[in-house]
Amino acid sequence: MHRPVKLPIFPKHSPAATTAAAATGAASVGEEAAAGSRAVPAGSIVDRFARRVEYLRISLTDRCNYRCTYCMPEEGVELRPRQDMLSFEELEQLVRVFAGLGVRRIRLTGGEPTVRRNMVELVARLAAVPGIEELVMTTNGHLLAELAGRLREAGMGEVNVSLDTLDPDRFHAITRRGDLSRVVAGIDAALAAGMAVKLNAVVLGGFNDGADDLAALCRFGWERGATPRFIEHMPMSGGQIYQAGQHVPAAAIRARVAGALGETISAEPSSGRPVGPARYFRVEPSGRRFGIISAMSEHFCGTCNRLRLTATGELHACLAWDDAFNLREVLRSGRTGDELDRDLRARIAAAVADKREGHEFQLGGEGGPTKHMVAIGG
């Protein structure tokens, strides 16, 4: 029986309090982390649990051309006015500041990032920012076939594509409007353009959790040179679109994949530097691999190296909490040059100082934030 693991509750902090905390060392920029921890390079930003932040996820829009059942309610999602969205210039400026603080990896998300007008131009601008080593994207793949070549030329190195099932009717049902053939064409176009591709499937009990379903997704990816990954469903949206009976734990996913393939599965050794939330597993003797993002049953909070920026400039230190620090108001304050950069760095440091040790997701559906996955980009 899988029981929910309850992590400590950390008190909420006001922006003013955490700005003061950051100034006194709760988040260290260019200093050593907490006592007894490893030293970090100058220009790095480290939270109060000695986790070094290197990875920024940027939502380009809260709009999406799909309506996936696990991502958003069918109705009631309020879209923000377009004038609230950060401009390309503002996004580029923020990425330059984050790069100066040690961020090396940028992931573009949504909503659906490819519906943002002229987003290929933004990719080129962000890829050229000094210090940014990896520029990647998460997409539903609907528009990827027509964009893949230009994205690669602009500097995009990798895409994660949502693919929950290979059955066209079930795919249309879970996305409420998706076209599986278009997504497959997008995956193939991205691979042909030279991008690395990972396939993300949210595993839902009674929908796509059968051993044959999971194995089919693995084979589909492996045949193309893409890496399949399975994601545990999380109680976002205040738990209103989460059903406890649909949760499938990571251990069950591994067992079903192993059983369907008739092979042994072992965990890949850690590379030592966290890149993202997935843990990878090797299938032997074939040597093929797949990943699992197991936020519910096998927590990875201890190695979290990520921050999330919404399309409207709200900086979230954790997917699982509603706390946010508004960077848009700093960008539009009228300040410029070094003064603006200083104030942005201070606000970012405050957000990192406020980063909690872990989430409080519960298998029954409690403990999640009220925000919708579609607005934060996963």
DSSP sequence for 304-367: --EEEE-TTSEEES-TT----EESHHHHTSS--HHHHHHHHHHHHHHHHHT--S-----TTS-S
Q: Yes or no: say if 250 and 203 are a contact pair by the CB < 8 Å rule.
A: no
Q: What six digits make up the tokens of 143?
A: 């528009």
Residue 30, pLDDT > 50, answer: no
pLDDT score recorded for residue 323: 84
pLDDT at 23 (0 to 100): 39
Domain map of the chain by residue range?
Answer: 15-183+301-376
**Residue 146, pLDDT score:** 98
Question: Does 2 or 219 have the greater pLDDT score?
Answer: 219
What share of the chain in percent tops pLDDT 70? 80
Average pLDDT of the chain to the nearest whole number: 85
Taking the C-alpha atoms of residue 336 and residue 314, their distance in angstroms, rounded to an integer, is 20
Question: Which range is least confidently modeled, 16-30, 244-258, 339-353?
Answer: 16-30
Which region among 70-74, 307-311, 359-363 has the lowest average model confidence (pLDDT)?
359-363
pLDDT number for residue 358: 67
Contacts 24+ apart (CB under 8 A), 330-339: 331/86, 331/90, 331/93, 331/94
What homologous superfamily does CATH list for 15-183+301-376? Aldolase class I (3.20.20.70)
β-pairing verdict for 158-162 and 134-139: parallel
Is the peptide bond between 111 and the residue preceding it cis, with omega within 30 degrees of 0? yes
> What predicted TM-score, i.e. pTM, was given to this entire model?
0.86
Helical residues (DSSP H) of 105-143, grouped into ranges: 119-127
pLDDT at position 8 is: 29
Distance CA 346, CA 264 (A): 49
The DSSP secondary structure of 208-247, one letter per residue, reads: T-SHHHHHHHHHHHHHHTPEEEEEE----GGGTT--GGG-
- pLDDT exceeds 50 at position 2: no
